[in-house]
């Protein structure tokens, strides 16, 4: 094998290893990207992506008061179903999001949790709702939404 062929082969290996390291360290989309994707999934009524991006159990638990385990399990199921229905098809949240201008702002990451500032602007009514979507890093490194408004 010629010297230049060895050099090219070694460079390809190093480039491949470097790309693999970068992809591993990147760990997928960041919190802000997940929020953009979630909003897009809701607007497109994409149930698969909504379910992939939303930690439904954590979301429902954030909204529920303390209750017995039996009541809690029942409420998780009922409220979870209502939440998904609201985000898809002709659901209330989806209809509201479709008529609003949604501006995704700054993300703040602290260890395995993050917040992304989001403004929902109803231009016809002249109202703006400023909120923060909360996300939690999952064991696989992906971010999931645990709270939104």
Burial class (CB in 10 A: 0-12, 13-18, 19+), 59: buried
In a domain, 140, yes or no: yes
In the prediction, which pLDDT does 102 show? 97
Number of domains in the chain: 1
Query: Given this model, what pLDDT does residue 56 score?
Result: 94
Residues 6+ apart with CB under 8 A from 101: 120, 121, 123
pLDDT of residue 16: 45
Residue 17 pLDDT: 45
The domain that holds 76 is classified in CATH as 3.10.450.50
Structural domain containing residue 94: 31-147
Do the domain assignments include residue 7? no
Q: Is residue 18 part of a domain?
A: no
What is the reported pLDDT for 61? Answer: 84
Q: Are strands 101-110 and 113-122 parallel, antiparallel or unpaired?
A: antiparallel
Instruction: Flag whether 128 is in a domain.
Output: yes
**Residue ranges of the chain whose pLDDT lies below 50:** 7, 11, 14-25
């Amino acid at each position: 094998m010629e010297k230049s062929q060895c050099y090219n082969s070694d460079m390809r290996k190093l480039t491949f290893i470097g790309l693999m390291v970068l992809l591993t360290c990147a760990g997928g989309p960041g919190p802000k990207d997940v929020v953009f994707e979630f909003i897009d999934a809701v607007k497109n009524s994409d149930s698969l992506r909504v379910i992939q991006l939303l930690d439904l159990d954590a979301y429902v638990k954030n909204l529920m008061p303390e209750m017995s385990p039996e009541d809690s399990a029942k409420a998780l199921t009922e409220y979870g179903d209502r939440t998904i229905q609201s985000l898809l098809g002709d659901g209330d949240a989806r209809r509201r999001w479709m008529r609003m201008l949604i501006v995704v702002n700054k993300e703040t990451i602290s260890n395995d949790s993050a917040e992304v500032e989001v403004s929902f602007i109803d231009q016809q009514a002249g109202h703006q709702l400023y909120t923060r979507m909360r996300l939690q890093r999952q064991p696989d490194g992906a971010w999931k939404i645990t709270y939104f408004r």
